[in-house]
Amino acid sequence: MSILECHYRNLSSTGINNNFPENPPHIFDYTGVDALKENMNSEFGTKILAVPYGTKLEIVLQDTGFMNLENHPIHIHGHNFYIVGTGFGNFNAAKDPAKYNLVDPPERNTVGVPMGGWAALRINANNPGVWFIHCHLEEHTSWGLAMGLLVKSGSKPSQCMLPPPDDFPSC
């Protein structure tokens, strides 16, 4: 059953959990990675970030650049976002936000995260449903460079996820 269908039917015993970490569980030098020392193994599972309708999110995407020397075009389905900052090296939460462009940031649905750098995005989670966030390099998606964003329904009818059409095939 799809994540969207599980959410719509309020099914919680499907192996999907919404405990996606809000911060990296293990902080290290992301751009000077020793993959063996830092235990860069992928974790199998389906984790999604679940947020209430109308949540204002700031997502910082950090590239490690230790496997592939290339930028990552990260795409978010269902929402546009503002690119408020980009930089090279490790994102510094104490210093880098002061350099954000909060006057006229570009609005996009895809951002190029620079090799060995970062991109900071701001999103208004105002489209209820389950949305895919992933690298547009398909091989990278298969490696796990992807996640789900679940935007819960709001309190008004116009803020709620619509039911599937009657003739919509189920998974």
Query: What pLDDT, on a 0 to 100 scale, did the predictor assign at position 133?
Result: 94
Residue 114 dihedral angles phi and psi, to the nearest 5°: -65, 145
Q: Is residue 88's pLDDT more than 70?
A: yes
Which residues share a beta bridge with 51? Answer: 151
pTM: 0.85
**Spatial CB neighbours of 125, under 8 Å, sequence gap ≥ 6:** 51, 52, 53, 54, 55, 56, 57, 79, 149, 151
Q: Is residue 154's pLDDT more than 80?
A: yes
